[in-house]
Amino acid sequence: MTATPRAIELLQIAARAADDKQADDLVALDVSEPLPLTDVFLLASGRSERNVVAIAGEVEDKMLEAGVKTLRREGRAEGRWILLDFGDIVVHVFHDEDRQYYSLERLWSDCPTIPIELPAPAQNEA
């Protein structure tokens, strides 16, 4: 079993939103095989608690614009690891230190990664 086309579409929306708020190290994992409840994990890192909260807020806003409501949200008050459950996709926004500590990529290393399509960064004119 692989992630549904709808989950991949939502992944791209969430990834672009995270990237817009300067999220680092975006990784998407297809967890549809071991987990019956969701298809995709999107992992992202922020440099500070404020950045983590901003990234999560932007992801929620863009998903809502796409007609997808947050089913569950955890960790917003602390700003260290915010989990956003949208059903087909679960977004984990970590503070850099917490991401290294919990190492979800290692835990889910048997799951294939999904390519993320982000717009090319704007080139500064000299």
Residue-wise pLDDT for 4-61, tens only, equals 999 999 999 999 999 999 999 999 999 999 988 999 999 999 999 999 999 999 999 9
Note the pLDDT of residue 1: 63
What domains are there in the chain, each with its CATH number?
A: 5-107 (3.30.460.10)
End-to-end Cα distance, the chain: 49
User: How confident is the model over 54-111, as pLDDT tens digits?
Assistant: 999 999 999 999 999 999 999 988 889 999 999 999 999 999 999 999 999 898 999 9
95: left (phi over 0), alpha (psi -120 to 50) or beta: beta
